[in-house]
A and B are shown apart, each in its own frame.
Chain A
Amino acid sequence: MSNISELLELAKSGDRRSLSRLLTAIAESEKTPTFLPDSIWTLGVTGPPGSGKSTLIGRLAKHWVESGESVAVLALDPTSPISGGSFLADRIRMEGSDLGERVFVRSIASGNNPGGISPRIWPMCHSLALCGWTRIVIETVGTGQSEFRIAALADRLLLVDGPDRGDIIQAEKAGILELVDVIAVNKSDLPGASLAAQGIRTSLNLSEDDHREVLLVSALEGTGIEELASAIESCEPQNDRNQIIMSEMLISEWDSLLISHPEIDQIIEKLCNNSKTIGEAIDSLITSIHNGR
């Protein structure tokens, strides 16, 4: 922990090497460290694979940097670390315009955590805010239940979808549509995008008081980015979001307590050979966690 506070002090003074080490130290820390920034601005970005989340984040980052913000991106990649490369390519394009120092990207493989969510993401965001990063973006892949959980920790949530409506039905199933603040239909340069946007609007209009924006953007061509950025700025963090965040924090801490339990493998083996029931397994896990393991 002392290492973490030392790194935090150096990172706060603007030392990028220390900031990077700090994020690693937080990711590897045994107990989740707590930071309390005075203010924090976070955006979760989720959507089906291939919908253009990374490219769009690249565009938004450029827009923000030009407006004087500094942008940090935590890119979570539960399955394919290779696909993370495409985002870094976007960042390099930004670096070509001398924006590099104001954009920080960290790829995070979240595979070891149940549901793909790491309780360390929160302190990472908090420490980034403490170090002066004014736009913190958490990018997640896919539209399954677990990704929706990751996205829930941000105080604003953007759903990116493509012109193909097939995937967003999955989003609807997972409950993402209920939670997002802004919806961007990307690839507006392709046919079908307007129809897709209209379909989502129709779906939202089923409830009368739903005024969330569905915007057409093209990350490829850079159209609609300003409108999207201003829609993101103007959305007020929902009041019930705090409750969701707290519940997610609790669940993810609990999950990681469970998954790192020293007897977890033996207990699973006992479940496999029927020498324990699920109920008995839970009882013994709770007892041992209660007794300080």
Chain B
Amino acid sequence: MRVVIAKPGLDGHDRGAKVIARALRDGGHDVIYTGLRKTPSDIVRIVNDEDAEVLGLSTLSGAHDSLIPKICNGLREGELGDVIVFAGGIIPDRDLELLYKSGVRAIFGPGTPTAEVLGFLEEALRRKKENVPIGVGDDLGWHWN
């Protein structure tokens, strides 16, 4: 699948994003990494222009609760509701529900084996192929973890 890995917000730590990008590339996916410090509208435009099927958001700054819902809304408003969104980084348990409600389908914290992220994408691909809802614009309670 075509996957954009993005770093929203101001934190400058992208080791995690690069590890995921590498793992997904090695798993046979086309990965486009945005680099650091992207605004929500930058990210929506990149997802559009790259016609990505999946967007992975990495954030460690604590701004996930404001930035990630903004990005998800931007995707829905930009006719990108079929894009599958997952997140990673430092995201406290109390915020998980908010992000799931925004349309995020999986959240991977520190220490997640990369195989699990690939497993999520396999499931995402299966659902997509079988026309089971999974995109950020689909109204459903399902999430991977």
Contact = CB atoms under 8 A, between A and B. Distances in A.
B22 interface: yes
A104 B42 CA distance: 12
A89 B22 CA distance: 18
Given A84-B32, A85-B32, A17 B78 contact: yes
B129 to A, nearest CB: 15
Contact of A89 (B35, B41, B50): B35
Interface stretch (A105-113, A158-166, A186-194, A252-260): A105-113
A106 B50 CA distance: 5
B35 A86 contact: yes
Contact of B35 (A24, A81, A85, A109): A85
A23 interface: yes
Contacts, number: 63
9 interchain residue pairs of minimum CB distance: A85-B33, A89-B35, A20-B51, A24-B51, A81-B31, A109-B30, A17-B79, A107-B32, A88-B34
A93 to B, nearest CB: 10
Contacts of A109: 30
A21 B2 CA distance: 13
A233 interface: no
A259 B32 CA distance: 26
Interface of A: 16-17, 20-21, 23-24, 81-82, 84-86, 88-89, 91-92, 95, 100, 104-107, 109
Nearest to A107: B32
Q: How large is the interface on B (under 10, 10 to 19, 20 to 34, 35 or more residues)?
A: 20 to 34
B46 interface: yes
A92 B48 contact: no
B42 to A, nearest CB: 5
Given A81-B32, A85-B21, A91-B46, 5 more contacts: A17-B80, A88-B33, A88-B34, A88-B35, A106-B49
Given A17-B79, A17-B80, A84 B48 contact: no
B76 to A, nearest CB: 12
B34 A82 contact: no
B36 A89 contact: yes
B128 interface: no
B25 interface: yes
A91 B45 CA distance: 11
B38 interface: yes
B18 interface: yes
Contact of A82 (B22, B46, B79): B22
B46 A88 contact: yes
Interface in B102-134: none
A92 B42 contact: yes
A144 B52 CA distance: 29
16 contacts: A16-B48, A17-B78, A17-B79, A20-B49, A20-B50, A20-B51, A81-B21, A81-B25, A82-B25, A82-B33, A84-B32, A84-B33, A89-B34, A92-B37, A105-B46, A109-B30
A105 B47 CA distance: 11
A82 B30 CA distance: 9
Nearest to B48: A20
Interface in B59-101: 78-80
A285 B31 CA distance: 34
A104 B49 contact: yes
Contacts of A89: 34-36
B42, B49, B80 — most chain A CB neighbours (10 Å): B49
Contacts of A20: 48-51
